[in-house]
Structure 1
Amino acid sequence: MSRPQEPHRPFFPHGNPFRMIFPKGSYLSPKLQALLNNFEETLAGRLRKLVPKHKDDVFSISWMILAVQLLSETHNDIKSLITDLELPVVDWDDKWIDVYLDNSVKLLDICITLSSELSRLSQGQLLLRCVLCNLDQTRSSETLKAKSSINSWRQHIGARNPKIENCFSIIDKLMESLELPKVKNSAKGKTLMRAMYGVRVQTLFVCSALMSALTASDKKLVDFHVAGTYLWAAAFSDLQRFVFGEIRNLVLSDRKHHLVKELEAVATSVGELYPMLQEGVEPIETDSLQKSVAELRKCTDKLSSGLDLLAKEVDGYFQILLSGRDALLCNLRLSGSVIDSSKKHKMEEQTVR
């Protein structure tokens, strides 16, 4: 999901976005204000949870899993808020619906890309299993096979997934759509738009961070400048400064070729093991070699289980997005609202591939 509100960037080419969202004299009833405050305070709490206790925790798979989990919770919260607002779909501005459908399909594409990349990394684990299996043997021919599998793993992990580059362009388009169409003079509509802006910022932050981790690149990081009027602004600012700062430090460091912590641990273990195989040492003849094999096995197991769990979280988020789209389209049909042929065609084009 994703949606509404103004562009919070260093400059506002179209004037003050907050004046457009909450024009002078606009009023929220105590009930609406309470709903909005509860949503924003909950979002602030989630953002604070994402600030790692230590810089080494940035881009551990456990942190990435948490990021997707919290994002899913926020998307569920916005659906609950819509229900609590008692704002029927028939009262939604057509532009809200168009932007929501367009953005949601983009997020579904991002999920598909993330799943594709996680699957690719998991396939690389099969090569490491071959390495470990070969090194359990005592024959030199098996050592040669292990060396070959390590070379294949390095090539596989070092290859670029072309879908990732396309994903960056999708994120760029989502960034551009942060500037929303004007909101009707509706207190409920303004409340929804303001809440949805928080969802959109969290979504883009998590997507950008995960893509940077998987590509070991900071070229697509965009710093958001969120106004202090949002109850979650300070928490987001702290999170963004910490995580984006660490990404940039890691990218600039010669030590890091992989930003995913567990993947870097596997790469380090492989780097220590490979020279021993080059020297032609038999597996059962040296303690150091056996220790290296044991360490690689431990790192490989940890990475494999982490990738499986992260893939499940991404799939869960995908299902939340999909159910949100389905619910909206179903409500439009049930409401009997008029959808012109061009809009119907657009919806058909946005069907998940």
Structure 2
Amino acid sequence: MSRPQDPHRPFFSFGNPFRMILPKGSYVSPRLLPLLNTFEETLAERFGKLKPKDKEEVLSLSWMRLAMEFLCETHTDIKSLITKLELPVSDWDEKWIDLYLDNSVNLLDICIAFSSELSRLSQGHLLLQFVLHNLDSNSSKQFVRSLSSLDGWRQHINKKNPRLENCFTILDNLTETLNLPKVKNSAKGKVLMRAMYGVKVATVFVCSIFAAAFSGSTKELMDLQVHDTCFWAEAFTDLQAYVNGEIRYLFSSGRVTVLKELEAVDTSVGKLYPMIQEGVGPVEAEAFQSSISDLGKKADKLSQGLDLLAKEVDGFFQIVLTGRDALLCNLRVASNISDPIQKNKNVEVQAVR
């Protein structure tokens, strides 16, 4: 797919998003305002906590797991807010429902793509285990097999996952829907739309980082411009500038991979490979065993990190899916509406996992 070559992807300016959400002179009751304030204060706090304390944390699997946890918590918060607003589905504008259903199915597709990539990377661990098993032997034949497996591992991690291509289009579509529908004569609706705006900004931000990391390209790394009337705007802008800046630096350095644990394994493989290729004498034996041990430790850390991140992605998938199912259930009860998009979704997910 041909894509723009611009190094930065600033989100298009859409004016004041709250001119349609909380227009000048609009009234929000004293009961509703604390709900919105609490939601936005919590979001601001979470944006602040997500900012890495050190640049080395950026695109580590442990930090990416925290980012996915953050999304799970934020989407859980919006479900809780909807309950507290006591805004029945029957009062929802059709545009809200259509937007929610479209966005949720897009998020499910993104989760499927991310799960697919994590599964693919995890499969490389088998090749590394085979290498370590063969290196336990002093047989030259086994050493040759180890070299072949290391070559296979590098080819495997450098392959592009076609499932990720769809994420690019989805993220473009999600950014276009940040400009929320106009809300008429509904204070609860205005509060809900403003809160959902924050959730969508957080979701696009995190998903664009994952897409960039997994695809090996910063073309889909987005610089979202949010309105400064949001309580969380400053914390988000600070986080986005720090993380996106470091990611662009990592890509510009020409590294094989920007995922920290994966890079650590590749570095270890790079040190071990020439030792196997050239042979090891008595003098190099200690360094050789140290390199084997180092590869084993880093391979295990990578495998564990991928497994933990995969669980968080699956958790996010389930949160989005259950929220979508709950809305559809309420719609069917209210007006017997069916959802053709939903069918076969669970089947597709099981095929990936």
TM (norm. structure 1) is: 0.92
Point out where structure 2 has 5 or more consecutive residues left out of the alignment.
Answer: 1-9, 349-353
Over the aligned positions, Cα root-mean-square deviation in angstroms equals: 1.6
Query: Which amino acid counterpart does residue 92 of structure 1 have in structure 2?
Result: W
**CA offset digits 1:231-281 (Å, max 9, x no partner):** 100100010000000011011113x22111000000000001101111022
Note the C-alpha offset of 1:184. 2.2
* Contact 1:143/1:282 (<8 A) preserved: no
Query: CA–CA distance in 1 between the matches of 2:75 and 2:53?
Result: 25
Q: Which residue of 2 aligns with 1:131?
A: 131
* Contact 1:58/1:243 (<8 A) preserved: yes
The correspondence of residues 1-353 of structure 1 with structure 2, limited to 5 A, is: 9=11, 11-12=13-14, 16-254=16-254, 256-281=255-280, 286-334=285-333, 336-337=334-335, 339=337, 344=338, 347-351=339-343, 352=345, 353=348
Query: Which amino acid counterpart does residue 49 of structure 2 have in structure 1?
Result: K
**CA offset digits 1:132-178 (Å, max 9, x no partner):** 00001111111000000000001101100011111111111111111
* Contact 2:95/2:181 (<8 A) preserved: yes
- More displaced stretch, 126-135 vs 20-29: 20-29
Note the C-alpha offset of 1:285. 6.3
Query: CA–CA distance in 1 between the matches of 2:122 and 2:302?
Result: 9
Query: CA–CA distance in 2 between the matches of 1:178 and 1:94?
Result: 17
Q: Which residue of 2 aligns with 1:3?
A: none
Query: CA–CA distance in 1 between the matches of 2:288 and 2:145?
Result: 16
Query: CA–CA distance in 1 between the matches of 2:342 and 2:175?
Result: 19
Query: CA–CA distance in 1 between the matches of 2:292 and 2:30?
Result: 63
* Contact 2:180/2:197 (<8 A) preserved: no
Query: Which amino acid counterpart does residue 118 of structure 2 have in structure 1?
Result: L
Note the C-alpha offset of 1:213. 1.5
**Are residues 323 and 284 of structure 1, via their aligned partners in 2, closer, same or farther at CA, if it must alter by over 3 Å?**
farther
* Structure 1: 4+ residue segments shifted above 3 A: 282-285
**Are residues 314 and 100 of structure 1, via their aligned partners in 2, closer, same or farther at CA, if it must alter by over 3 Å?**
same
Secondary structure of the structure 2 residue equivalent to 1:17: coil
TM (norm. structure 2) is: 0.92
Note the C-alpha offset of 1:338. 6.1
Query: Which amino acid counterpart does residue 335 of structure 2 have in structure 1?
Result: S
Query: CA–CA distance in 2 between the matches of 1:125 and 1:242?
Result: 31
Query: Which amino acid counterpart does residue 201 of structure 1 have in structure 2?
Result: V
Query: CA–CA distance in 2 between the matches of 1:17 and 1:210?
Result: 26
The aligned length equals 336
Point out where structure 1 has 5 or more consecutive residues left out of the alignment.
Answer: 1-7
Query: CA–CA distance in 1 between the matches of 2:175 and 2:158?
Result: 29
- More displaced stretch, 206-215 vs 322-331: 206-215
* Contact 2:13/2:225 (<8 A) preserved: no
Query: CA–CA distance in 2 between the matches of 1:173 and 1:205?
Result: 13
Query: CA–CA distance in 2 between the matches of 1:123 and 1:143?
Result: 21
**CA offset digits 1:16-62 (Å, max 9, x no partner):** 43211112221111111100000000001111111000001101111
Query: CA–CA distance in 1 between the matches of 2:282 and 2:159?
Result: 30
Percent identity, aligned pairs only? 63
Query: Which amino acid counterpart does residue 39 of structure 2 have in structure 1?
Result: F
* Contact 2:261/2:298 (<8 A) preserved: yes
Query: CA–CA distance in 2 between the matches of 1:175 and 1:277?
Result: 49
